[in-house]
Amino acid sequence: MLSEHDIRRGLAEVNERIVAAARRSSRDPAAICLVLASKTQHPDAILAAYRAGARHFGENYVQEAMAKRARLHDLADVRWHLIGHLQSNKARPAASMFDLIHSLDSMRLARALHKAHPIPPTRVLLEVNLAAETSKRGVPPRDAERLIAEVRDQVEVAGLMAIPPPAPRAEHSRPYFSRLREMRDTLAARCGLRLSELSMGMTDDFEIAIEEGATIVRVGRAVFGERPA
């Protein structure tokens, strides 16, 4: 685990890079939400980031997030995001625990979330598998409109999420981010929903994502250092 000083410095540097990327693309930096990817990080690391000003944290697993929330229950203004895959049998605790679930990819999951928390509906992002990668979850782009139509009465679809294929340079992710933004615009017009959120961009490419319209970026390593084993 990095020292609190190093975490504070890393967070400040990431925030500076967010501001610079937003200004390059004539955007308001305040419109971009930084979610710190805290998977496998010790609760003390999350607390250090909180003391440095972070309020949004992203977890991959429900059980791990539950344990951390129990340790950090005094941090009432923290917002928890589920940024990993969610199984339908974990929908009940997830619907109560997370402010936003980034990984909706099926009607089955939407129904489970609705059953667990019908009012208010769970806020979700539709995960899109832009490159048809077999190693990743997500709905194929061609099926996104159909799935939104099916789930919109079950959950609140707030936008889209995607992770580009691994690439040697951040710039290689740009076409995928641009495509997701264009998809969002088209789907919003066709479905009559705002779909205001675009969750895209991580430590290696979040500046490119911001330039292409990201409203949420998920950054872990640049603040917390390498993940513990």
Domain assignment of residue 136, yes or no: yes
Give, in order, the Cα–Cα distances in Å from 219 to each of 115, 121, 182. 31, 27, 23
The predicted pLDDT at position 1 comes to 87
Burial class for 154, CB neighbours closer than 10 Å (0-12, 13-18, 19+): buried
Q: Is the pLDDT of residue 228 over 80?
A: no
pLDDT confidence of residue 122 = 98
Kindly calculate the radius of gyration of the chain based on its CA atoms and give it in whole angstroms: 17
Average pLDDT over residues 46-65: 98
Q: What is the pLDDT of residues 185-198, one digit of tens each?
A: 999 999 999 999 99
Neighbours of 200 (CB within 10 A): 31
For residue 103, being part of any structural domain is answered with yes
Residue 178 forms part of a structural domain: yes
pLDDT in tens, 142-166: 999 999 999 999 999 999 999 999 9
pLDDT at 6 over 70: yes
Domain tally for the chain? 1
Q: What is the pLDDT of residue 229?
A: 65
Neighbours of 136 (CB within 10 A): 17
| Within-domain flag for 123 | yes
User: Is 229 contained in some domain?
Assistant: no
Could you give the CA distance from residue 28 to residue 46 in angstroms, rounded to a whole number?
26
Q: What is the pLDDT of residue 189?
A: 97
Query: How many whole angstroms separate alpha carbon 170 and alpha carbon 189?
Result: 30
CA 96 – CA 101 distance, rounded (Å)? 11
186 part of a folded domain: yes
**What would the mean pLDDT of 18-44 be, rounded to a whole number?**
97
CATH number at 66 reads 3.20.20.10
Distances (CA, A) of 135 to 94, 132, 204, 205: 23, 9, 19, 20
Per the structure, the complete domain to which residue 154 belongs is given by: 4-224
pLDDT in tens, 70-125: 999 999 999 999 999 999 999 999 999 999 999 999 999 999 999 999 999 999 99
The verdict on residue 197 lying in a domain is yes
Q: Is residue 66 part of a domain?
A: yes
